[in-house]
Amino acid sequence: MAQTDVEDVHKAHGVKPEAISAIPLRHPGRWVAVGVIALFMAMGLHTVFTNPRFKWSLQWQYFFSAQILHGVTTTLELTVASMAIGVTLGVILAVMRLSANPIVTGAAWFYIWVFRGTPLLVQLLIWANLGALFPTLGLGVPFGHQFFVKQTFTIIPSVAAALLGLGLNEAAYMAEIVRAGIISVGEGQAEAAASIGMRKMMIMRRVVLPQAMRVIVPPTGNETISMLKSTSLVAYVPYVELLFATQNIYTRNYQVMPLLIMASIWYLAITSLLMVGQYYVERYYAKGSRRQLPLTPLQKVKAKVSKFGVRR
Amino acid sequence: MAELMVSAQKVHKHFGRHEVLKGVDLSVPPGQVVCIIGPSGSGKSTFLRCINHLEKIDAGIIEVDGDLVGYRRRGDKIYELSEREVAERRQRIGMVFQHFNLFPHRTVVENIIEGPIKVLKEDKVEVVARARELLRKVGLSEKENAYPASLSGGQQQRVAIARALAMRPKLMLFDEPTSALDPELVGDVLGVMRSLAEDGMTMIVVTHEIGFAREVGDHLIFMDDGVAVEAGDPRDVITNPQQERTRLFLSKVL
């Protein structure tokens, strides 16, 4: 488009200059880089295909086995559920931290301090072993009579420990991400919304958060990918997910490396899918912030193909 | 209807130690257009923002349409309004900002219908029809489904005016509505404001457009250093200022 405009202008003025014919700049560094990287890639591929200890056929044999698929499903469920807890609680904490009420701000700050300041694995183990600290949990009057008492391990089975550990930890990180998003939206937006009579909650929901999403989505995508991998820590709760299922197999057949590589391939595959999802979510929230959205990779390919067809 | 749409007495406001408003008075009868001029930092924008409680005043009284701004009078005591009540009072006061502040994630028509539908809970079909009528009035009918980023500053400001009018306000506040615009776009916005004034809207306009103040304004206030230095009929104040400070300011901007 732009090119034809320039041509039109030249035509109108009757002065189309000749195309520049200069000797192009050489890039010897690029060729060196190509050589080095090609060498490393060749070495890598060589070992992957010739080293029999990778046991590709064994990996393939387990890749879609019932045990592994169950592990993959659980890993996905844990990721989705923990992120849901993390995002929901994170938004609440972020709004609390920006509140005018100093007690509320302080409470949110304390939460983030505790849950961001201790390792996730430690938190998971604490949730899993809560029964050692509080053998029973109950509902009742504080410091008084309890109406409802149960054994802790019945209330917090390992799946709950996993979700609490992952979700509550994630909330601390999400809170900071959401807060960054909220403060990235100009004050004028909240003022304009207030001037048409909106109340604070509605301003947050209808005006500030949708715009904050542009800043919130990319790091949240990171967090989701990070969460997918963090679910492997749940193997120590213990709760059966992809890593645990993999360990179950290799403790019986001692094929540690092939099965760990197989698990890595699964993690990589899911991560790649998540990246595609993130791309489209980001695009959705870019609405209105750019005059024209760039084409998606798929659209680019389609455009190229159709252009090719026309030329032929 | 109250005798005065806006009445302000001895309004004081400070940010930290800096006193921005040092006792400003103002009376605006319904249907009048009051223009406030003055150098930057004179407190004119702050004063305007106090009228719809975007800023809280420290001393003095502001009443809009007979109600205290930010407070409720019962007997001889005044009570601070809740967040909900403050928001409800703002529904009757439209505001137009220097930097437009349109919602960038919503189209032009969505910007306009947001308040009537979400705040006033009005019927969507009727509100959309009203929004189209307002867009026709400000000369932007064909931009209904555009996003603000694709509009020029002058177009955005006219949409912002339409957004404020969609709430059917009794009073419109304009905070330097043309200061962020290219000179060639100023005329369109001033034209919309002029026809609004002709329709009888009560308006308070903080502006640097002396020509607009003279031709459209019913009353002019010159503010400097947190006080209203001079006030009166715009033609008199502009052609024959009584105060030295007013004269100095006008000699620079005219």
Q: What is the pLDDT of residues B122-139, one digit of tens each?
A: 999 999 999 999 999 999
Torsion of CA B146, B148, B170, B72, to 10 degrees: 130
A258-298 per-position pLDDT tens digit: 999 999 999 999 999 999 998 988 888 887 776 667 778 88
CA B7 to chain centre: 15
Q: What is the mean pLDDT of residues B38-67?
A: 94
Q: Name which of A31-35, A137-141, B113-117 the model is least confident about.
A: A137-141
Q: Residues, chain A, total?
A: 312
- Measured CA to CA, the distance from residue A205 to residue B105 in angstroms comes to 13
Contact A198, A209 (CB under 8 A): no
Question: Which of A25-29, A214-218, B156-160 has the highest average model confidence (pLDDT)?
Answer: B156-160
Question: Pick from A202, A219, A199, A198: which is nearest to A210 by CA?
Answer: A202
Q: In this prediction, what percent of chain A has a pLDDT beyond 70?
A: 92
Question: Which residues is B72 bridged to in the sheet?
Answer: B79
pTM of the model: 0.81
DSSP H stretches of helix in A185-240: 187-195, 200-202, 209-230
A125-134 own/partner pairs: CB under 8 Å, 24+ apart: A125/A236, A125/A237, A126/A165, A127/A156, A127/A160, A127/A161, A127/A162, A127/A164, A127/A165, A127/A237, A128/A158, A128/A161, A128/A165, A128/A237, A128/A238, A130/A156, A130/A161, A131/A156
User: At A263, which amino acid appears?
Assistant: A
The Cα angle at residue A96 between residues A93 and A102, in degrees rounded to 5: 135
pLDDT score for A233: 95
For chain A, give the mean pLDDT: 89
Cβ-contact B15, B33 below 8 angstroms: no
* Chain-chain contact of B163 with A287 (C-beta, under 8 angstroms): no
Name the β-bridge partners of B204.
B34, B173
Q: Which chain B residue is nearest to residue A186, measuring alpha carbons?
A: B101
Please choose, from the candidates B114, B159, B127, the residue with its C-alpha nearest in 3D space to the C-alpha of residue A205: B114
The strand pairing partners of B189, in sequence order, are none
User: Bridge partners of B80?
Assistant: B71
- Chain A residues whose beta carbon lies within 8 Å of the beta carbon of residue B165: none
The SS3 call for residue B173 is strand
**pLDDT recorded at residue B132:** 96
Q: Using the beta-carbon criterion (under 8 Å), do A192 and B103 form an inter-chain contact? A: yes
State the pLDDT confidence band at A299, using cuts at 50, 70 and 90: confident
pLDDT grade for A9, boundaries at 50, 70 and 90: low
The structure tokens listed for A11 are 């035509």
Q: Do A199 and B115 touch (CB under 8 A)?
A: no
For residues A37-49, give the mean pLDDT: 94
> Are the Cβ atoms of A197 and B119 closer than 8 angstroms?
yes
Query: Other C-beta atoms within 10 Å of A305: how many?
Result: 10
Q: What are the DSSP E strand ranges found in chain A?
A: 136-140, 146-151
Taking CA atoms, what residue in B is nearest to A192? Answer: B101
Please say whether the beta carbons of A97 and A179 come within 8 A: yes
Report the run of H or E that residue B175 belongs to, with start and end: strand B171-175
The reported pLDDT for the residue numbered A192 is: 97
List residues bridging with B227 in a β-sheet. Answer: B224
Determine the average pLDDT of the residues in A92-114.
95
**Which of B54, B56, B101 to mutate to test binding with chain A, by most A CBs within 10 Å of its CB?**
B101
A140-149, B75-84, B165-174, B216-225: which range is least confident on average?
A: A140-149
Distance to chain B for A5, nearest Cα, Å = 21
Residue of A217, A186, A206, A184 lying closest to A283 (CA atoms): A217
Band of the pLDDT at B2, cuts 50, 70, 90?
A: low
Q: Tell me the C-alpha distance between B134 and B157, whole Å.
A: 13
- What is the pLDDT confidence band of residue A95, given thresholds at 50, 70 and 90? very high
Q: Which residues between 50 and 69 in chain B have a beta carbon less than 8 angstroms from any beta carbon of chain A?
A: 52, 54
Please answer whether residues B26 and B36 qualify as being in contact, where contact means their C-beta atoms are separated by less than 8 angstroms.
Answer: no
Report whether pLDDT(A75) > 90: yes
Report how far apart, in Å, the C-alpha atoms of A5 and of each of A8, A19, A311 are.
5, 16, 20
Neighbours of A192 (CB within 10 A): 27
Percent of chain A with pLDDT over 90: 66
Average pLDDT over residues B176-205: 94
Residue B79 burial (CB count, 10 A): 11
B87 reaches A (C-beta below 8 A): yes
Return d(Cα B144, Cα A217) in angstroms, integer: 28
DSSP tag of B7: E
Stretch B145-167: mean pLDDT, rounded? 95
Chain A residues within 8 Å of chain B (Cβ atoms): 186, 188-189, 191-200, 202, 206-207, 210-211, 285, 287-291
ipTM score above 0.90: yes
Across the range B6-23, mean pLDDT stands at 94
